[in-house]
Amino acid sequence: MDASRLHTLTFAVRPAERAEGGPLRFEGIAYSGGVVPAYGWHGDVVIDLAGLKNADGDELPVLVDHQASVDAIAGKGRIYRFRQPDGTTGLRIEGEVIDATDAGRQIAALLKADFPLQMSVGMSANFREVTEPLAVNGRQVRVSNITNTTHSH
CB proximity list for 100: less than 8 A, separation 6 or greater: none
> CA separation (Å) from 143 to 5, 6, 37, 54?
19, 20, 9, 24
**Is the pLDDT higher at 90 or at 17?**
90
- The alpha carbons of the chain give a radius of gyration, in whole angstroms, of 16
- pLDDT grade for 12, boundaries at 50, 70 and 90: low
Does the pLDDT at position 147 exceed 80? Answer: no
Distance between CA atoms of residues 18 and 40, nearest Å: 37
What's the number of domains the chain is made of? 1
Burial of 136 (0-12, 13-18, 19+ CB in 10 A): buried
Percent over 70 (pLDDT), the chain: 88
Helices (H) and strands (E) in the chain, counts: 1, 11
Q: Can you give the pTM of this predicted structure?
A: 0.75
Least confident of 6-10, 103-107, 121-125, 144-148: 6-10
Does the pLDDT at position 1 exceed 50? Answer: no
Overall average pLDDT of the 7-17 stretch: 66
pLDDT digits (tens, 9 = 90+) for 22-34: 888 888 888 888 8
Can you give the pLDDT at residue 151? 61
pLDDT digits (tens, 9 = 90+) for 59-110: 888 888 888 899 999 999 998 899 999 999 998 889 999 999 999 999 999 9
Does the pLDDT at position 130 exceed 50? Answer: yes
Distance between CA atoms of residues 71 and 102, nearest Å: 7
Distance between CA atoms of residues 72 and 98, nearest Å: 11
Overall average pLDDT of the 11-17 stretch: 69
Alpha helices in 8-153 (DSSP H): 102-112
Q: Give the structural domain span for 86.
A: 5-152
